[in-house]
Each structure stands twice: as structure tokens, then as C-alpha cells.
Amino acid sequence: MASNIRLSLWFSYIASLHLSFTLARSDNYIIHMDLSVMPKVFSNQHSWYESTLSQVTPTNNILKSTSSKIIYTYNNVMNGFSVNLSPEEHEALKTSPGYISSIPDLPLKLDTTHSPQFLGLNPDKGAWKASKFGQDIIVGVIDTGVWPESESFKDHGMTKIPSKWKGQLCQFENTNNSSFCNKKLIGARFFNRGFLAKFSNISATIVNTTRDEDGHGTHTSTTAAGSRVDGASFFGYANGTASGIASLSRVAIYKTVWGPKGDAVSSDVIAAIDAAIADGVDVLSLSLGYSNVSLYEDGVAIATFAAMEKGVFVSTSAGNDGPSYKTLHNGTPWVTTVAAGTLDREFRGNLSLGNGVSVTGFASYLGIFSDSNIPIVFMGMCDNITELIKVKSKIVVCENNNGTLSSQFYNVAEARVVGGVFISNISEIEMSQLLWQPLPLIIINQKYGEIVKDYIQSNSNSSSVAKMSFKITSFGVKPTPSLDYYSSRGPSNSCPYVLKPDITGPGTSILAAWPTNIPVLSFGSYKIFNKFNFLTGTSMSCPHVAGVGALLKGAHGDWSPAAIRSAMMTTSDILDNTKKHSKDLATDKEATPLALGAGHINPNRALDPGLVYDVGVQDYVNLLCALNFTQKNISAITRSSFSDCSKPSLDLNYPSFIAFFNARNSSSKMTQHFHRTVTNVGEGRTTYVASITPIKGFRLSVIPNKLVFKKKNQKISYRLSIEGPTMRQKNIESFGYLTWKDGKHVVRSPIVVTNM
């Protein structure tokens, strides 16, 4: 202990003298080892790793204390460990027996009550009933932790914890204290050793607890599986019952996101998934990912391969970096990658002028005051922040007629005015940006704008006053769902041959539980607290799909993660509530599968998909082989020292198709073939017939176009062929659908052709 203190003091002294030099020298690494060459003298892998490390770290150096260098030893998700090493030690380790490869400890990015009803869930029938609200299912959430006191974690009426649960820990406030856990919140663990090693400069501020110091994890975990809470609202918005999708499933929280900036590193996330598998989770929800890494360096991809082998359904967020192509993360073939769409509600606010006249418009949901009159001023185009700061104690009215709304939002937010009123006939694209603004905002149309301007101009600036009120929620908004602007788009950078994202879930303005000591709104000296909060992002759509995964697993205990994903995809909705193809708010056109995935999730139909496209472990290995990964790279994912690459294939048995027509050197035609095998999970005998929506400039055919099943669980194969120009000229992408129907089921797969 004493030497540790001396060590750290000495270290900070050095660090202050040679900051950049010292920091560059030592870093975290994740080391893959070949367990098959471990000498028999070692009783376990940990002692072998310790011994290996002691060989490469000089013993006479006071900076080295070998026994504490290992950050984690991983047991389930990989053979190896994470460790903080100098570059010299790292080089020396590479020559040790059993060393396979190492990857850097990369940072991950967090993708920051009405939704169950919107998804068609009903207590009396469908997925809720068939799964008993997911009561035997355990959902693990890897995030910023949890606020255990939230009403959404009350366990009244819940049956006893399933015996498959092996989790021992309920870690809060530096102790294992089971009084924070119950039959709903069944486990709580934190993982920060990798973070502390990498961000040693802020380690003093880190408390060893699973308590959520951000709010994100409380929100995502209660979205997936929070208990029903009546009267949940956000200052009057969305007033009603808040319920997680799988409201009787159990929740286990794994906290891996730390510090004021919400940082997470691979070594901790891998350790959390490792622990979740050992604890016995059935479903994992991960609303975080890397910006752009290969599959064998992607800690989520590596660790979730083992989860997939164990039958754990993994839901991940696509990211919030849309609307450009190739912005998606978690494009990993063995997880479910979730895009984000809108709900059928909108937020409206009223502006009541001092003369008693009231106008109404779209509003941000962060309206907080309704009772007091506040001075209101007209500021034209609102293009000068200095001018806006001068009137920040007022409601500012801005006029927009030139597509400058987003810069006006920015200026008004930057000036921290009390509230903003925008005169504009904006489209929904800009609406979705509005909902992100941390200020009370109302957008009114030109007609109302004239009324407001007339009022202000007929008074002197100082005597014009208005009230803003925000307590109006409109349901049944049309058209919804739409794919939202921010949702990241495919193709996947790490594996473009598998069409991603897979599916869309509700992500925009989702109400869920929130820590009561973290403000839902703070600007100026205002700090507003609430038990529920609205958040927007693929971070929010991901736990919806995790919740549906829990319901499907509860109803179909024998389905693999790939079968669950397939059921969700092939039964999803592509039509909105106006019976037209769902739109993309970024383009105002039909949302393509590179944005929407197969469609918007429909839990009740996913319960009975008719056919599923299953994928086995070797199928994924065949894909990794065809990506031309080395044996070392493949073993980093699969954990076996040798992978059978005798049948490499990019043609994974997936319920979607992406065909690249991007050859540079020819103008002739080419045909691409896709082989698929479907399993009949419906009842017994049935015949499915194929239909294909045409794609202009391409010839699509399916052989056979009729599948005759004699019994349940029978598998039949078919081939889809796409003929087209070797190099697609005009549009970057086009899409269509292949649909199998048997009179009862509709099994639909998206097809994308692209020259990307």
C-alpha cells in the first residue's frame, strides 16, 4: 500500500514534468493467447498470464509491480487478458510462447410511455401474453449504470428469480449490498479497471458503484424491461403509464461508462460481457459502439461472438452519425443492429401574447414554464450571437425564410436566451433537430408569425410580454413511423456483405426513467429534476429491440439469436400509418434498407414469422474466412487456435440481401447469386410462394419460387439471382423486396443493389 502511494506520487511528479512523453509510453492492450500451449504446471490461465508477464517486465525497475499489471483475465469471451504495458514490454510480450495477437484498448461511444402501445403490444394477446411479459428472461444492460430507487425497478407481484441466474453481486457505493437489488433488478456490477488504467488522471473522481451518474443507463434499462409505472410524465407531456417492453423480465446492470464525458474502453466492456455470460443473461442490450474498427479489433464484436454461441440475443445501436452512408457502427454479422425511427406523437407548445391572443406550433419538449409573463423581442434573422446575448433574459422571436433554421437554433442556444420562437414553415427534417435543443422552443407558421410580429411592433420592446406553455402531446401523428435523420446508415464498414442495419425501433423522444438527482434540464441557474426524461437516439431504439428479444425468447425458448433476429426482420413493417412506404426524414423519400433495415419492428407478428433464416457458428466462421482474415484474426474472435476455412463464403444465411455492382473495368453484365435456407417454424404442412418487387435496370429471379414444407422445422433452400450492369451507373443504391407468402405468413427480405 505504502509503495503504491509512493509510486503514484512519483508518477504524477514525472507526469507533470514530461506529460506527453510519459502518457504516450504506457497503454492498455488486450492480449489474445493460445490456451492450447499453456504448460501443465499452471493450474489456471490467470497464473499462466502472470508468469508470462513477469518474463517481459524488468524486475529491477521500481515502476513495475508485475502482479498488478493485469487489468482483467477473460474467461468466457476470449482466451487472454488486458494489461497496461510500455511499448518495450508490449514488444517483448509478442515473443512469449502462446502469444497470438494484441489489440489496442479502444474507446467506445455512447449513442446518446407510449412506445409499447405504439408497437402494438397488448396485455391480452400477442407477444406480451405469449411470453408472460418476458418473466423468465434476464436482460443484461451494458451502460452507465442504474438508479435502483426508480419506480421502474419495483418488483411487486414478480415471481422468484429464475434459478439459471448465477449473478452474486449488487455493487453500490463501494460495497456488495443486496438491499439495492430485488426480483426486478437482480444484479448490478461495475467495470472500471481498464478505464482507471487509461484515464489515471481522473481516477480520483471515480466511485466504485453501479449507480448511474449520467442517466443514460437508467433510461435504456427501463426502456427494455422496466416495470409498469402509472402517471409517468415529463411535466405533463406523454402523461400515462410508462412500461418497459418486457415489463416482467429481470434486469442486470453492467456499468462500463465513466467520468464526466461518458468514456468507455474495450477492456471494461469485454469484461462486462464476460461477466454477463457467466451470470446467465439471456439478452444483452449495448447502446454503444466504436467509430470504425475491423471486426477483430472491435471489443463488442469479439465478446458478443461468445454470447451468440451461448444463445444470448444481442441488440446494439447503429449509431447517431446519420444521414450519410457508411456511418453505422456495430455492423457485426452476429448481433442485431438497430436504427431509430419516430413515434406517432409530436410536441406542441403555445405562445400566449400579453394581449390575450394565443398561437400554437411545434415545440421542443423542454418547455418548463407556463405561468409567468416574460418579455418578448423580435430579433429578425437571429444571426448575431452578440445581439442575442444582450436580450437573453427575454423570449426571442426569429424569422426564418431561407433554410437557416439550424444556425438560428445554434445561435439562440449559444446565447442561452430564456426561450425561442421561430417563424418558419419547416419540414419534419428540421423538427427532428429541434427536439434535440436544450431550450424551450416553439416553431410557428407564417400566419401566426405575422400576429406575433404585429403585437411586438405595436408595443415598445420593453412592454411586449408572452407566456410559453408546452403541455400538449398529439398522438396519431401522420405519417409515422419515419426513419429519423440522425440514425446511422449502412453499409457496415466492418462487413459490408451483410446488409445493416437490421431493424428500426422507436428512438426519437422516448420517455423512460431517470435518476432523481440528475437534472433533466439545466440552463443558466435553472436545474429541473424529474423521475422520467425524454431522450433521443439509437441508444433508445436498441433497448426496445432488446425488450422484444426478451419477449420472443420467453415465447420461443429454443430459438437461436439468429432465428430471433430473422423473425423480427421478416415480419417488420415497411408501411407507415398512411399505408405508404416509411419515409426517411433526411431525404423526405422512401427510407431505404441501408437506413431502415428490414423495417420497423412489429413484436406481435415476430412471434409467428412462419419461416426463419438461421445461422450457425460455422457459417459465421466461413464468412470471416472469406473476409480474408488471417487465422490469428479469426481466432481473436472465435477463441479457437484453428478455424476451418475450407468453405469460405460471404453469402451468409441472412434474411436480407446486398449486391455490389461496382467493378471499375467493364461495361458488360454480371449475375450475383445468393443462397438461402429457410426453416419452417410454423405449424406443419404449408406452401410458400415467392414474389419480388422489381428493381429498375436489374433482373431478379428466385429458384425455386415455391417452397413446399411437409413438417415443422423442415429446412428448404433457394437461390436469388440478381443480374445487372457490372458497374452501376446512376443511383448509388436501389432496393426491392423478396417476399414469401403461404396465405398466413408474409416473410419479407429487403434487397439492396449498390455501386458503393
Ligand X SMILES: *[C@@H]1O[C@H](CO)[C@@H](O)[C@H](O)[C@H]1NC(C)=O
Residue numbers at the binding site for ligand X (CB under 6 A): 23, 168-170, 174-180, 193, 199, 201-202, 207-208, 233, 236, 239, 292, 326, 350, 358, 360, 377, 381, 384, 386-387, 401-402, 425, 427, 460-461, 469, 471-472, 493, 627-628
Which residue's entry shows cell 430459438?
559
Closest CB 254 distance from ligand X, rounded Å: 16
- Cβ closest to ligand X, residue 650 vs residue 716: 650
Kindly tell me the burial class for residue 410, based on how many C-beta atoms sit within 10 Å of its own C-beta (0-12, 13-18, 19 or more). middle
- Cβ closest to ligand X, residue 96 vs residue 358: 358
Type of residue found at 564: I
Cis peptide bond N-terminal to 501, omega within 30: yes
Q: What is the 3-state secondary structure (H, E, C) of 100-140?
A: EEEEECCEEEECCCCHHHHCCCECCEHHHHHCHHHCCCEEE
In whole angstroms, how large is the CA radius of gyration of the chain? Answer: 27
Kindly tell me the burial class for residue 24, based on how many C-beta atoms sit within 10 Å of its own C-beta (0-12, 13-18, 19 or more). exposed
- Cβ closest to ligand X, residue 497 vs residue 737: 497
- Cβ closest to ligand X, residue 358 vs residue 726: 358
Closest CB 335 distance from ligand X, rounded Å: 18
Q: Which helix (H) or strand (E) holds 270?
A: helix 266-279
- Cβ closest to ligand X, residue 182 vs residue 739: 182
Closest CB 426 distance from ligand X, rounded Å: 7
**Do the strands 80-85 and 27-33 form a parallel or antiparallel pair, or are they unpaired?**
antiparallel
Kindly tell me the burial class for residue 238, based on how many C-beta atoms sit within 10 Å of its own C-beta (0-12, 13-18, 19 or more). buried
Closest CB 380 distance from ligand X, rounded Å: 7
Find residue 670's DSSP bridge partners: 724
Dist CA 405 CA 411 (whole Å): 10
Closest CB 405 distance from ligand X, rounded Å: 11
CB 534 within 8 A of CB 237: yes
Closest CB 727 distance from ligand X, rounded Å: 16
- Cβ closest to ligand X, residue 129 vs residue 151: 151
Find residue 78's DSSP bridge partners: none
Closest CB 450 distance from ligand X, rounded Å: 12
Dist CA 293 CA 296 (whole Å): 8
Calculated CA dihedral for residues 44, 268, 495, 332, nearest 10 degrees? 90
Please report the DSSP string for 542-578 in residue order: HHHHHHHHHHHHHH-TT--HHHHHHHHHHT-B-B-TT
Which are the catalytic amino acids? Answer: 143, 216, 539
| Of 683, 695, 700, 703, nearest in space to 744 by CA | 683
Closest CB 167 distance from ligand X, rounded Å: 9
Distinct helix (H) and strand (E) counts, the chain: 20, 40
- Cβ closest to ligand X, residue 441 vs residue 678: 441
Closest CB 596 distance from ligand X, rounded Å: 21
| Of 225, 222, 213, nearest in space to 144 by CA | 213
CB 420 within 8 A of CB 441: yes
- Cβ closest to ligand X, residue 350 vs residue 504: 350
Please report the DSSP string for 7-29 in residue order: HHHHHHHHHHHSHHHHHHH-EEE
- Cβ closest to ligand X, residue 84 vs residue 679: 84
Q: How many residues does the chain have?
A: 756
